[in-house]
A and B are shown apart, each in its own frame.
Chain A
Amino acid sequence: MAGTGHAHLRDGDRVLSVKDLVVEFGVSRHATVKAVSGISFDVLRGETLGIVGESGCGKSTTGRAVMQIPRPNSGVVEFEGSDLTELGNAELREARTRVQMIFQDPISSLNPRRTVRDSVLEPLAIWGKGTKDERLKLVDEILESVGIDPKRAAESRPHQFSGGQCQRISIARALVLDPTLIICDEPVSALDVSVQAQVLNLLEDLKETYGLTLVFIAHDLAVVKNISDRVAVMYLGKLCEVASSDDLYAQPAHPYTNLLLDSIPEPDPNADHAASQVIGEPPSPVDPPSGCRFHPRCSYADDVCSAEEPQLRPVGTDHFVACHHPVEVQVSANPTN
């Protein structure tokens, strides 16, 4: 199938390796939403992979497809050596204890009727880990490590905590089964900047303490840059560019990455506020454009772009781009200084 290539896949200690992932949803008898169309990526042990893109690009669907909610239409999701798409329901449940997920809205992802300590405790009780006392001790330890007072957690329900605190509690619940990989789906986008900074710092600390590997999905490029080692840029179900975090932002090669970076409002009134150069809005994933899916909005597009789908190819050390006309030249013209 016409994927976006495998050139960016690596050898080494891979925790997660996704190949040619396809997720489609039927919306009516004649239409399917092509949410994810053959993307591949891998995450090495201890690494944070950032997945960034606009709404509707398939980034959340990708994260959920790794968890097999729902199971993808095709493709391989290899986690610690076993293909999750091949596993039966019982094996999958067991595997999911080692892949956890944190969601965007921290308040609605916790049960409003239970105390938050019970919510954090539940996974341990379900899996019968340790004795009751051991479980409580572990839960209190983990709540402490995410900055929540265990005593308060024992007697309070989610609505008694702020959004930032609820997100800490969700993180504690994800940590309690000692996972290898945590998929964070927009974990800070509902939070105020001051709280966002606290949660981002916390994730960095926990990654260190618990030896975690993270997939961090977000639309905010500055947030993704801050937390990630490697970043994948998605557009309409495809990967545009994959590179190390610092490299991607210093030398964005894909026109779409450039546009995304230029669109960020910088907290500096002296920054260049060139009128936005983006043409229109993302098209519908029901009927994605031919060739390069970005070509209708791209100012560099020509006939090749509408006819042929670009494959990911290297443009530098650990820097891959799926574009017929990558724009390396724009880098030096970047008006940051």
Chain B
Amino acid sequence: MKELLELYLEFMKIGAVNFGGGYAMLPLLERELVTEKKWVTTEDLLDYFAIGQCTPGVIALNVSTFIGNKRKGTLGGVVASLGFLSIPILIILVIAMFLTNFADLPVVKNAFAGIRVCVCVLIFQAVLRLWSKSIVDKVTLALYLVIFFLAAFGSLLPVKVPAAVLVICAGVFGVFFGKGGEKK
């Protein structure tokens, strides 16, 4: 019971600061769950993100379910997910009730312009840190460059390849050409 409560509160905290989409959450998850709580490894997190990209729903929520489940089984998964949802639900309820022009308030606009700057630095630092764990040779580097290009500049191409398709292709590619299987 105490551990479930801890799961709930931890993911409530993460849900409260999940700005800028799921991937922006990675630096925060790393700090909270890998460095401080030691519930998962960085590799686990990357795996969850990859799977979350190919399954329905918000990636950040997928990651919460995964980690909750890893800690305390099915119930843990549900508890972590509900924790993650708590603050966003409350915020929108408050906005819907009282603040119809919330997004137009100058203080909100200015604060979030500042937060966005911080989010890109956090993501950039996460990429630097995670680089050595995922880009291990020339094959993974090539895979990285191709997927990065398609994901970042896909909208300039005649057909935009959905992110889920990119990730699934990378997985299939790994099965055929990957060097996995060795122990860490």
Partners in one complex: no
Residues of B within 8 A of A (CB): none
Residues of A within 8 A of B (CB): none
